[in-house]
Amino acid sequence: FRSNSYGESRSVEDESTKNALRVAEHYSARSNQTLEEREASPIIHLKKLNNWIKSVLIQLYARRGDSVLDLACGKGGDLIKWDKAKIGYYIGVDIAEGSIKDCRTRYNGDPDQQQRRKKFSFPARLICADCYEARLDKYLRDDAPYDICSCQFALHYSWSTEARARRALATVSALLRPGGTFIGTMPDANVIIKRLREAEGLEFGNSVYWICFDEEYAQKKFKSSNPFGIKYKFHLEDAVDCPEWIVPFNVFKSLAEEYDLELVFVKNSHEFVNEYLKKPEFAELMRRLGALGDGNQDQSTLSQDEWDVAYLYLAFVLRKRGQPPTS
Ligand code: SAM
């Protein structure tokens, strides 16, 4: 674990722990929705689009029998995607106790439901921990190395301090096998900063989201050279309402290289959709998920406001340096 270049103090660490707890409380409090509630969500098509993006990433990189580490796994929304990829083993870690509980129920099947779902074909271990603070490199060493690490819509929660951002990357690097893949999605800092510059004040958004920067961060942080701890408040209808942090992608890329993680690609979600929708198998998956409607006039489709939210995110793939072991 390398030294900290920006001299973060104890009070910065305490503040970041408090923020991590706020994030955990927010996600823990979000209970599982029924199918009807989910379909009535004002961002249902955005949720489906994000599921499609994660499915494409998993289908592109997961191989039969892979050992998978899912950092910030949430309620296990990706379990079925991993099952379809026929992985061999899964470890999910999340800071929110409520989410881990829901994830466990999803994996084991709900005992209150008469019809229990088909069992997942892979064994799983679910752990409640702060992925950006706990020494997962030690705790999860017995099951390492992993073929794939996934961190979906959550890596930006590590960027509150340099120490946490480094811990996240050190963990991924220590647990991935040489040649292993790190896939993820997170906010696209370039788009967020562009939108902030275009905004009249410190806040911008549309009918389904808003982002608000504190005066303190907008004034001080954009002038300082410290790329960590640039906080904003993010609200997304029926999904998110908590502090988040800007992840300047060039800094992320350089820091990842320090931990032997090389960039394979980064694409804004719009670019990702436009590119992979050209492939017939992924177009068919999109049709089945119904994110963009299916051309049927009765079926609603992704709204412009939801499409604008999609533009706030990017997908990335990194590869752990070294040659995979020959079998
Ligand atoms: N990856 C899941 C998915 O795509 O469905 C969940 C994404 S949700 C937007 C963000 C998740 O990050 C939440 O489940 C939250 O509890 C988790 N999270 C935030 N900070 C975390 C931390 N420090 N350690 C572990 N999990 C964290």
Across 116-131, b (16+ Cβ under 10 Å) vs e yields eeeebebebebebbbb
pLDDT band at 74 (very low <50, low <70, confident <90, very high): very high
pLDDT at 119: 87
Give the Cα separation of 96 and 99 in Å (integer).
5
Bridge-based pairing of strands 203-205 and 124-128 is unpaired
Most informative mutation of 18, 19, 22, 23 for ligand 1 (most atoms within 8 A of CB):
23
Nearest of 263, 247, 267, 265 to residue 189 by alpha carbon:
247
CA of 74 from ligand 1 middle (Å) equals 5
Complex-level ipTM beyond the 0.90 threshold = yes
pLDDT at 18: 84
Residues 6+ apart with CB under 8 A from 116: 109, 110
C-alpha torsion angle, residues 316, 320, 325, 327 (rounded to 10): -10
Type of residue numbered 35: L
Question: What is the C-alpha separation between 137 and 173, in angstroms, rounded?
Answer: 9
**Minimal CA–CA distance to 125: which of 141, 112, 107, 137?**
107
The predicted structure's pLDDT at residue 1: 37
The pLDDT of residue 323 is: 85
Instruction: State residue 229's pLDDT score.
Output: 92
| CA atoms of 94 and 177, how far apart (whole Å) | 22
The size of the chain, in residues, is 327
Query: Could you read off the pLDDT of 12-46 as tens digits, one per residue?
Result: 767 788 888 888 888 888 777 788 888 888 899 99
Instruction: State the pTM of this model.
Output: 0.93
Q: How far is the CA of 184 from the centre of ligand 1 (A)?
A: 12
Q: How far is the CA of 136 from the centre of ligand 1 (A)?
A: 16
pLDDT in tens, 121-167: 999 999 999 999 999 999 999 999 999 999 999 999 999 999 999 99
CA of 74, closest atom in ligand 1: 14
Q: How far apart are CA 233 and CA 255, in angstroms?
A: 25
pLDDT in tens, 167-214: 999 999 999 999 999 999 999 999 999 999 999 899 999 999 999 998
Which residues form ligand 1's pocket by a CB distance below 6 Å? Answer: 20, 23-24, 27, 72-74, 77-78, 94-96, 99, 130-132, 152-154, 157
pLDDT of amino acid 327: 64
